Chains A and B, each alone.
Chain A
Amino acid sequence: MDFKKTDEWLFEITPKNKFFSLNFREIWQYRDLLMLFVKRDIITVYKQTVLGPIWYLIQPLFTAITFTIVFNNMAGINTGSIPPFLFNLAGITVWNYFTSCLNGTSDTFKSNAGIFGKVYFPRIITPLSIVVSNLLKFGIQFFIFILFYIFYYLKGYNLIFNIYILFFPFLIASMGFLGLGLGMLISSMVTKYRDFSYLLGFGIQLLMYLSAVMYPIELVNNKLPKFGWIIEYNPVAYIIETSRFMLLNIGQVSILGLLYTTAVTITAFFIGLLIFNKTEKSFIDTV
């Protein structure tokens, strides 16, 4: 065997992180770990529960019923020709995907400190696996939405898919990436300043009211014209509104708004990734 040259090293461990370093090859090498994490997340949810995966359905269904009673029957929000329950279920299903991604990933460093403190693997695998396993959860919830959709259709409601439904996967992807980006950002900050985990708790709750989950954006523009912009510039609200537009053909959508949302998502994702990358090298000393 030839003697290797002294500068021919396989890898080097150094203190300073390059401004941005994401080793895609390494992440690819650990793809099996990603899938195993997803499998773990799913298996552990099923174990030792009587209802198992049904829990995935109970939460959105009951929330949708509550919203229908409170916001539609009592407060009288008008959803046009769409049954209010279906309207709410659509909003909740999409919103749930966002919050479960955000909640799950925002805890990455804190809840995995034990394992991160002992072995190295690309840390981003963990939040990625959360986004993927939540996608499965979303799939189940979306399936229920489809069932109700068919149910209402058979009952004679005038429901039409929009041609833009083809873009729905894109919409869900950007919801996932937005949740992932913000989650990574928060999880990095939580390692140093625990304040953020408290902020997140009620922050998400407040955000839900600003995200057009249980009302159409149009309603805000009509009733509170001064504050309509808050909702319109909220990418989450925009995604929810757009998905309702695709699924139920209700609401308003503009190309400009979609571009804006995509831009915000990409920015949030990359900022999150950047901070996450910086944190993963030394967080174990501060967590």
Chain B
Amino acid sequence: MKDIILKIENISKQYRLGQVGTGTLSHDLNRWWHQVRGKENPYLKIGDTNDRSTKGTSEYVWALKDINFEVEKGEVLAVIGKNGAGKSTLLKILSKVTAPTTGSIKSRGRIASLLEVGTGFNGEMTGRENIFLNGAILGMTKKEITSKLEEIIEFSGCERYIDTPVKRYSSGMTVRLAFAVAAFLEPEILIVDEVLAVGDAEFQKKAIGKMQDISRGGGRTVLFVSHNMTAVKSLCTRGIVLEHGTIKFEGNIDEALDVYNSDIIDLVREVKWDIDEAPGNLNAKIKSVKLTSDNDFFCIEKKINIEIEFVNFIDNQVINCSISIFNELDSYVLASPNLERIPLAKGSYKSICEIPENFLNKGKYFFTVILVGNNFEIISQLDKIVSVDIDEEGTYRKGYFGHWGGLVRPYLKWENNQID
């Protein structure tokens, strides 16, 4: 028999868009009048689904609509989704910060959230005083905190500053201290939202390790919300993908990640033109540009191909393609022309440029495509015409989950020889 610790039934949350001001009072009164007569709230029937990019007709939206799921004891469940999919709203309802509009949540254990660490920290108070205050805010009693004080201080690694006001701490130290307090909370259900985005690599590793301990050793349940897919993948067993306030997918974590990765917006994987409208000139035109991968999503560990189709209208002219790659911060990463300049016969061609595996780093990259003619003149330049968000499988990270910087991330050869 499954040991269900948390049961979410038909949870919906409605928000009103725009100004809360004029009109609020009349709606309030109308709602109240319906309630007095024992009728249903008239504004519950209306409302659009929550799609940020389209213009809705109603001023009410459903941030969450009919969410149903169950969580087993000891499970680490990932909640993933694009910005605005309803993740935070769901977590807010779970942590009792806001009430749902309809539905109910039943729980067999205390729920504590690490929504944003450092909540309620007071700069004027010392680290020690803040441990007590923060712990109490998170639901611990003074006795509980006192008994764990040494451990908390040790875990935070801020021993030296513990009697200094927190306002003199570096931001990293504040986070460490705050996470340390939260990590020693002992709720049956822990909600973790993006805490790992801060702190240095060493601390992230420590934090992830602690979370693993919590779920495996302590048999406690963790709901984990993160955009750090590597951390999600290594920590969670099951995932829920939210989209526009509804559950798009629920199941094992690998499949959930695939669903999530397959519909990342704002990225153009392929562009095609009709020959009449295609960019170029009378000598040659580009027909299409496309990014492909053998994998079902783009990742560091697999190679990425950029395929450019073009038409050559003139016999025996040299046409070649060139690409430039920019990252999401608009840094120019590299340029690579096709150096093979051989005269081509009339006809359609497909140039494929292969970006090797373990080469580009994680993140978004934008590809500019240039078609170059006989005399090195530019026939057509398509700035950032296709783009990709590269993820990683993390196969060669060996347990390191921290940020891995750099424009590129090649897998370089290392040797370790004993010399003495």
Instruction: State the A residues within 8 Å of B (CB).
Output: 3-4, 6, 8-15, 17, 29-30, 32-33, 35-37, 39-40, 43-44, 47-48, 114-121, 192-193, 281-282, 284-286
Contacts and interface: CB of A to CB of B under 8 A. Distances in A.
Given A4-B108, A33-B136, A281 B101 contact: no
A285 B125 contact: no
A203 B25 CA distance: 23
A47 B15 CA distance: 41
A160 B298 CA distance: 88
Nearest to A117: B97
A119 B113 contact: yes
Contacts of B124: 43-44, 47-48
A182 B97 CA distance: 24
A70 B115 CA distance: 54
Given A9-B108, A120-B95, A121-B137, A115 B100 contact: no
A115 B97 CA distance: 10
Contacts of B119: 114-115, 118-119
Contacts of A282: 98-99
B141 A36 contact: no
B235 to A, nearest CB: 22
Which has the most chain A C-beta neighbours within 10 Å: B1, B106, B132? B106
Interface of B: 1, 3-4, 7, 15, 20, 24-25, 28, 92-110, 113, 115-116, 119-120, 122, 124-125, 129, 132-133, 136-139, 141-142, 165
A114 B115 CA distance: 12
B93 to A, nearest CB: 7
Question: Which 4 pairs across A and B sit closest by C-beta, in order of nearness?
Answer: A120-B96, A33-B136, A281-B99, A13-B105
Contacts of A14: 99-100, 103-105
Contact of A192 (B24, B106, B107): B24
A30 B136 CA distance: 7
A33 B257 CA distance: 40
B120 A13 contact: no
A230 B99 CA distance: 42
A272 to B, nearest CB: 19
Nearest to B101: A15
A47 B4 CA distance: 49
A10 B97 contact: no
B113 A118 contact: yes
Contacts of B141: 29, 32
Which has the most chain A C-beta neighbours within 10 Å: B20, B107, B133, B137? B137
Contact of B98 (A47, A121, A285): A285
A281 B120 contact: no
B109 A118 contact: no
A47 B142 CA distance: 24
Given A36-B133, A44-B125, A121-B139, A13 B97 contact: no
